[in-house]
Structure 1
Amino acid sequence: MVFYEPPEPLYRDRQHAGSVLAERLEEFKIDDMAILAIPNGGVPVAIPIAIKLEAPLFLMIVRKLQFPDNPEAGFGALTSDGFLLLNERLVEYSGLTKADIEMQKKKAMASINKRLQFFGKWSQVDSLKDRSVVLVDDGLASGFTMLAAVRSARSQEARRIIVAVPTSSMSAFRRLEKEVDRVVCPHVSRLPVFAVADAYKNWYDVDENEVRQMLEELERDR
């Protein structure tokens, strides 16, 4: 990893970032490894990794729990298997009630169920018990979404958990490194203001239709 701030974006796009990560992850390649991408942005990053490591690719569906008056901000995350992670400090500071949390949890689960139906077989993860797992996203800002995914994988008895992301804030990196066996991240930012998009020359929001198309193409090519 590097701790300096590059003068220009490190990656052309998510696919390029995935190729960089794939080279760094090759040393961890073993049989029965599973690649779990957090959609939508984590999928184009994960595809080059899955190809390089010759490992199956699945989706780890995680949704942010949104503040009722600010949907762009979150106070926790929920995984498709029902694992709930709350940012307790934010919950206490914001004065959210148990009813508020339950309402946002129901909204998040409704969104998860829609995505499970939309992505079908790609979101039906094989058993993780005693397997090595690589969790992939396009970057870590707070790290809470990835942390929820990590703890979900841990609860499913994954033997080894590696987090692979192209870029991360320092706070998120520190939050994750003590939870997993390895964090593979070429760029960790020390800046007080961090945005995942800053690491990419070509950045845009990936939509669900594009994700499904990518997964279908990967399946055809294998």
Structure 2
Amino acid sequence: MIFADRAEAGRALADRVAEVIGAPGDRPLVLALPRGGLPVAAPVAERLGADLDIVVARKLGAPGHPEFGLGAIAEDGPPVYDQGNLRYAGVTEQDLAGTLAAERAELARRVRRYRGSRPAPPVTGRVVVLVDDGLATGVTAHAALRWINGRDPDRVLLAVPVCAPPARDLLAPETDRVVCLSAPPEFFAVGRWYRDFGQLTDEDVDAVLQRFHHALK
């Protein structure tokens, strides 16, 4: 399954998530992982009649190979490490101390940039759908799920258009349901499954949030 772009993937994902959730008693909360998760999450939130917000997370990449996730952090939560990937890369948690400090600084910058003085979205007692544009190692979503679960939600779903099967299986115990439209065994990278997988900017994040919130007024 190849998606034209993130918006098309979000529309397809929205239908599947709506089937899974059914009719929740209260207004759900859709949380996107920026930047790439927002264009996917907006159609999901529209389809569900849900609130849309973000949870900011950062991958802890391998030295020299930053796209290979060895761990991740989300908001004010502790780091979550993938022990298998650490062993594969021959790296310890202590070796990533510099990377962790740099990513915490970037995470704090993004929280200030995207949210400003607005508090983190209330999660307690809500049906929460965490959305990203795909799962490769799953470490970033793992950190975000730990952050969400630490705030006592009613139910948590992880929804992505495409995922590596090991990442889906890793995260299943952290959620009530993983919704993934396509789980190709030869995954390689998220961008392989999109014809248009352009890099997004902070301004793109602003535009999606402003457009969505304006539409609700």
**TM-score by shorter chain over 0.5:** yes
Pairing 1:203–2:197 present: yes
When residues 90 and 170 of structure 1 are mapped into structure 2, their CA distance, relative to the original with a 3 A threshold, is closer
In the other structure, the counterpart of 2:215 is 221
2:47 to 48, 52, 59: 52
> Structure 2: any 5+ residue segments left out of the alignment?
none
Q: CA shift at 1:82, angstroms?
A: 2.1
Contact 1:57 1:122 in 2 (8 A): no
How many Å separate the matches in 1 of 2:139 and 2:207?
28
When residues 122 and 188 of structure 1 are mapped into structure 2, their CA distance, relative to the original with a 3 A threshold, is farther
SS at structure 2 position matched to 1:189: coil
> Structure 1: any 5+ residue segments left out of the alignment?
1-5
In the other structure, the counterpart of 1:185 is 180
When residues 168 and 103 of structure 1 are mapped into structure 2, their CA distance, relative to the original with a 3 A threshold, is same
In the other structure, the counterpart of 1:21 is 13
Between Structure 1 and Structure 2, how many residues are aligned?
213
Q: CA shift at 1:94, angstroms?
A: 4.1
Cα-to-partner distance string for 1:67-89 (whole Å, 9 max, x where unaligned): 34333333100011223101223
Cα-to-partner distance string for 1:99-153 (whole Å, 9 max, x where unaligned): 4333222111100111011102597432211211100000001111111111111
Q: CA shift at 1:172, angstroms?
A: 0.9
When residues 73 and 37 of structure 1 are mapped into structure 2, their CA distance, relative to the original with a 3 A threshold, is same
In the other structure, the counterpart of 2:30 is 35
1:104 to 81, 84, 99: 99
Percentage identity across paired residues of the two chains? 34
SS at structure 2 position matched to 1:64: strand
TM-score by length of 2: 0.90
CA RMSD of aligned residues (A): 1.9
SS at structure 2 position matched to 1:185: strand
When residues 123 and 22 of structure 1 are mapped into structure 2, their CA distance, relative to the original with a 3 A threshold, is farther
Letter in 2 for 1:198: R
Contact 1:59 1:122 in 2 (8 A): no
Q: CA shift at 1:91, angstroms?
A: 3.0
In the other structure, the counterpart of 1:3 is none
Contact 2:60 2:100 in 1 (8 A): yes
The correspondence of residues 1-222 of structure 1 with structure 2, limited to 5 A, is 6=1, 9=2, 11-27=3-19, 28=21, 29-30=23-24, 31-96=26-91, 99-120=94-115, 124-191=119-186, 193-222=187-216
